[in-house]
């Protein structure tokens, strides 16, 4: 039976014997829906992030950022890692913008401060007002802030995000 994959049509094992048989008989085509998945599995399975992300329940952890021009933006943390975080806010921010951040970890476990760079920002859906912003930490205000985040994530208080 012929099969269509992402690389084209392939003849099946039992091909008709003459041209008239080919024209008169309907051809069943079986789509190989998993072919594209198999082709991209190595890419999909590769983790490009340097650090594991940990999910934060919405509304349980706040973040406040200050832009270079002094604008203060409040948001809700979505996930965090040793290398950065993502959060929801009402304001989109330009990629590569530098921000001073203040993150309150869930349960008021600690407040982290430092400088970060925006790596991605935009509306998740045109009907929604909130934006998703991803930041990469450039430095913490003190060494203690970095150590506090490491210790907090190692305790297992948060679940790993996908």
Task: Convert the pLDDT of each residue in 4-50 to its tens digit.
Answer: 555 555 555 555 555 555 555 555 555 555 554 544 444 455 455 56
Count of the separate structural domains present in the chain: 2
pLDDT of 66 > 90? The answer is: yes
* Calpha distance 155→151 (Å, rounded): 6
Average pLDDT across the chain, whole number: 78
Q: pLDDT at residue 157 above 80?
A: no
pTM here is 0.66
- Sequential DSSP letters for 131-144: EEEEEEEEEESSHH
Q: In this structure, are 122 and 83 located in the same domain?
A: yes
Both 91 and 123 in a single domain?
yes
Looking at residue 107, its pLDDT comes to: 83
Kindly list the distances between the CA atom of residue 76 and the CA atoms of 43, 80, 131, in Å, as whole numbers in the listed order: 31, 11, 11
Do 69 and 7 lie in one domain? The reply is no
What is the mean predicted confidence (pLDDT) over 124-133? 79
- Per residue in 91-116, pLDDT (tens digit) is 889 999 999 999 999 888 899 999 99
Dist. CA 91–CA 102, nearest whole Å: 16
Flag the least confident range among 20-34, 45-59, 116-130, 134-148. 20-34
Residue 130 and residue 12: Cα distance in Å, rounded?
Answer: 51
The answer to the question of residue 159 being in a domain is: no
108 DSSP assignment: G
- Regarding whether 71 and 98 lie in a shared domain, the answer is yes
Residues 70 and 150 in one domain: yes
The domain that contains 131 carries what CATH number? Answer: 2.40.10.220
**pLDDT value at residue 91:** 87
Q: Mark whether 98 and 136 lie in a shared domain.
A: yes
């Amino acid at each position: 039976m012929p099969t269509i994959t992402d690389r084209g049509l392939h003849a099946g094992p039992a091909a008709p014997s003459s041209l008239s048989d080919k024209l008169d008989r309907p051809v069943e085509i079986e789509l190989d829906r998993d072919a594209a998945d198999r082709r991209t599995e190595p890419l999909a399975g590769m983790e490009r992030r340097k650090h594991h992300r940990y999910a934060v329940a919405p509304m349980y952890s706040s973040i406040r950022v200050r832009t270079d021009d002094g604008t203060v933006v409040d948001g809700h943390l979505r996930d965090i890692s040793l290398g950065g975080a993502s959060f929801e806010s009402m304001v989109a921010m330009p990629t590569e913008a530098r921000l001073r951040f203040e993150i309150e970890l869930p349960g008021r476990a600690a407040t982290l401060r430092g400088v970060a760079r925006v790596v991605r920002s935009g509306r998740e859906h045109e009907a929604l007002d909130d934006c998703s912003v991803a930041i990469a930490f450039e430095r913490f205000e003190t060494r203690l802030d970095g150590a506090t985040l490491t210790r907090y994530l190692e305790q297992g208080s948060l679940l790993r995000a996908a």
